[in-house]
Amino acid sequence: MKKPDAYVSRVLCFPHALCGELDGRLKRLVDAGFTSLVEEGISFLDVRVLGKGYSSIVVLAENRDFGLGALKVRRLDSRRESLIGEALMLNEASKLGVAPKVFWYDADFIFMEYLNPSRCQPFILVLTKVLEEGSLEELKTLISKVFEALYILDKKGLYHRELNRPGTHIMICGDSVRIIDWESASSVGKPSNLAQVVSFLLYRHEYSDMIRERLGVRVDLVRRKLRDYKNTLGDNDFEAIKLYFGLTRQ
């Protein structure tokens, strides 16, 4: 990466083709051990990326110390001045085992674990497939894993803020759950990660009726217990939510 090619320039100057910041950004990456950026993923404004957003893009990168990983790059037209706050939140969540591992970061970059699509898929896609083709036990296991991950975040006081529409924010990687896209996250106030996803599953998923019916969800009791849970974040209230959601037996 000592001489930037067109792809490197497009990534580091995004959404522009060239920029005055190119040399400085490139030097920081080279000094941090990066050897290449890999063209992989979807095409976005003529650039291949793993992910895209209003403040950043994510590309596949090779680092001499950490190997392949996902490099988040702050867009030059971003209203955010730094990615450090996001990196700190992501790092805390990764220590809890519910987010990608963070390898390195600065104001313009976050280098993290790459969630290979061959083993990691969005929760909503996995859920839809299980609802259409899977067993009741598979459905219970899947939702229970996600609830447990969200409870871990709530207990730690990490509020993702964008899980009311999970989209690709919650990834299923085999038996583990990884939550990504922490740019709006906060550690201020009471977190509502679990409450947001419960509400989505009960009312806004395209198969909400099927979820309630197949699991025998006791909706009124779930809603009531969620109010208690928001105040206590206690184990007993969490277990009661799982019980009334039909995930466990009394």
Q: Are residues 236 and 144 in the same domain?
A: yes
- How high is the pLDDT of residue 188? 84
CA distances 134 to 43, 124, 131, 141, Å, are 33, 14, 6, 11
Q: Are residues 102 and 141 in the same domain?
A: no
Residues of the chain with pLDDT under 50: none
**Does residue 1 belong to any structural domain of this protein?**
no
**Does residue 249 belong to any structural domain of this protein?**
no
| C-alpha closest to that of 29 among 68, 86, 73 | 73
- How high is the pLDDT of residue 38? 96
Q: Are residues 240 and 198 in the same domain?
A: yes
**Does residue 157 belong to any structural domain of this protein?**
yes
- How high is the pLDDT of residue 45? 86
Q: Are residues 169 and 220 in the same domain?
A: yes
Q: pLDDT of 51-108, one tens digit each?
A: 998 899 999 999 999 999 999 999 999 999 999 999 999 999 999 999 999 999 999 9
Element (H, E) at 122: strand 120-122
Q: Are residues 152 and 209 in the same domain?
A: yes
- How high is the pLDDT of residue 1? 56
Q: Are residues 144 and 160 in the same domain?
A: yes
The residue segments making up the domain with residue 72 are 6-112
- How high is the pLDDT of residue 189? 82
**Contact, 163 vs 67, CB < 8 A?**
no
Q: Are residues 106 and 128 in the same domain?
A: no
Q: CB atoms < 10 A from the CB of 235, how many?
A: 10
- How high is the pLDDT of residue 2? 53
Show which of 112, 135, 165 is a domain's final residue.
Answer: 112
Show which of 112, 133, 151 is a domain's final residue.
Answer: 112
CA distances 33 to 10, 84, 225, Å, are 20, 19, 49
**Does residue 221 belong to any structural domain of this protein?**
yes
| C-alpha closest to that of 37 among 5, 13, 76, 77 | 5
Handedness of CA 165, 171, 176, 179 (dihedral sign): negative
Helices (H), the chain: 6-12, 22-31, 84-95, 123-133, 136-156, 193-199, 208-215, 219-232, 235-244
Q: Are residues 81 and 174 in the same domain?
A: no
**Contact, 89 vs 158, CB < 8 A?**
yes
CA pair distance 5, 26, nearest whole angstrom: 11
What CATH number does residue 39 fall under?
A: 3.30.200.20
DSSP state letters, 194-247: HHHHHHIIIIISTTHHHHHHHHT--HHHHHHHHHHHHHH--HHHHHHHHHHTTS
**Contact, 21 vs 77, CB < 8 A?**
no
Handedness of CA 47, 51, 57, 58 (dihedral sign): negative
Q: What's the total number of domains in the chain?
A: 2
